[in-house]
Chains A and B, each alone.
Chain A
Amino acid sequence: MHPFSLGLVWRFRQTRYCRFGLMVAAVLVSVRAEGQVTGQITAQAGLGPQVGVTGQQNLTWGGNAFPGVARTIAATDPTAARFQLTGSPTTAEMNVTVNPPTQLAGPAGAMLTIDTWSLCVGSSATQSACTGYAWGSLPMVRQLVAGQLFLWIGARVAPSAAQAAGTYVGVLEVVALYTGN
């Protein structure tokens, strides 16, 4: 078997209200009977406190993943991804969305499926103190604790027996939006 390495690179939204439009604005294109074609984008602005999201650790599978052997990193594992949310006021309420990849891209167009995501949320950088949050319940609305919040994220990869050897990468995105509360 040929081992290959995996890396999951985080991408964070440093802007306060992120490119909200890209996430939410539907790619809405319609054609009317008279032949007019339309498209839409979103305009957005934020009032009040600021929020920041920082990716602090990549999600990796610590060593090699083997063809034909599925491997899961739990949100509580040391190689899980980690994000820090900061903002003001210190108890500002955040609407948190996670945009995970469905596949990691590898050599010569090879793709590796990634699934079974998990999330653990905590108020400090101590991972063992985090509390699991049901992935299917996202987006998550949660207040900052003392002005911050930590997210740990895990997933599963299942390389096929014929999976090509090499490095497979993807982007995991967390978007935090101040709800105004």
Chain B
Amino acid sequence: MLQTRFRFPPRTLCRSIGRRVRGGAAVFAIGGLTALSPSRGGAQSVALAARASVVAPLTVSPYWSLDFRTVTRNRRNTVPYNDVWSGAFSVSGLSGAQVAVSFALPTTLDRLGGGGAMPIGLWTGCHSATNSSGAGCATFTPSATAINLTLAGGTRFFFVGASVTPANSLPNGSYVGTITLQATYTGN
């Protein structure tokens, strides 16, 4: 912003000029200055810094398959979640982050080569910070409904058990199915 002030010549000088030019025209130089409006184009610019830290995605790794070994017809054959033959996964991600974990579970184990389906259900499970399903492993029921838990130390192990009930009419053979663990950061 500029301000301009102008100052007229002293009064004594004016009078002397007037005497000398008696009969002629007095000429004064008068500046036609006005206060300049401030320059609208004179903006100051600054860059405000911004930072974001993106965490690595979760990883889900298979650990052990769920193995019923040889089962008996017409009865419930169970592998508990804390059995040596239970299935297991590990989930790794940002230490201390909350994750939502759910499962896509088969309803039958299907015979290799076709010809039979063995119902599977009564899912049981536990999760732990260590690869042991013993004491300290927190029990839960595996299902499509997510459970929220904290990745203390950055890794969590999940152990899964179930029961199969082969009908009397099922043919001999190997029966298999797939268990899927789904994990997502909740953002907390």
Contacts and interface: CB of A to CB of B under 8 A. Distances in A.
A39 B63 CA distance: 10
Main SS of chain A's interface residues? mixed
Given A36-B182, A38-B180, A38-B183, A46 B175 contact: yes
A35 interface: yes
Contacts of B63: 41
Interface in A1-49: 15-17, 19-22, 24-25, 27-29, 31, 34-49
B3 interface: no
Interface string B65-77: 1111111010001
Contact of A37 (B112, B174, B183): B183
Main SS of chain B's interface residues? strand
B171 interface: yes
A38 to B, nearest CB: 5
A17 B180 contact: no
The number of chain B residues touching the other chain, given as a range, is: 35 or more
B67 A19 contact: yes
Contact of A47 (B59, B106, B171, B183): B171
Nearest to B115: A180
Contact of B175 (A25, A31, A39, A47): A47
B70 A17 contact: yes
A3 to B, nearest CB: 41
B81 to A, nearest CB: 13
Nearest to A18: B67
B53 interface: no
13 contacts: A17-B67, A25-B62, A39-B59, A39-B180, A41-B160, A42-B176, A43-B176, A44-B67, A44-B68, A46-B68, A46-B71, A48-B172, A180-B173
Interface of B: 57-71, 73, 77, 87-89, 91, 104, 106, 109, 111-113, 115, 118, 120, 160, 162, 164, 166, 170-185
Given A38-B104, A39-B59, 9 more contacts: A38-B181, A38-B183, A39-B89, A41-B65, A43-B179, A47-B70, A47-B170, A48-B171, A180-B112
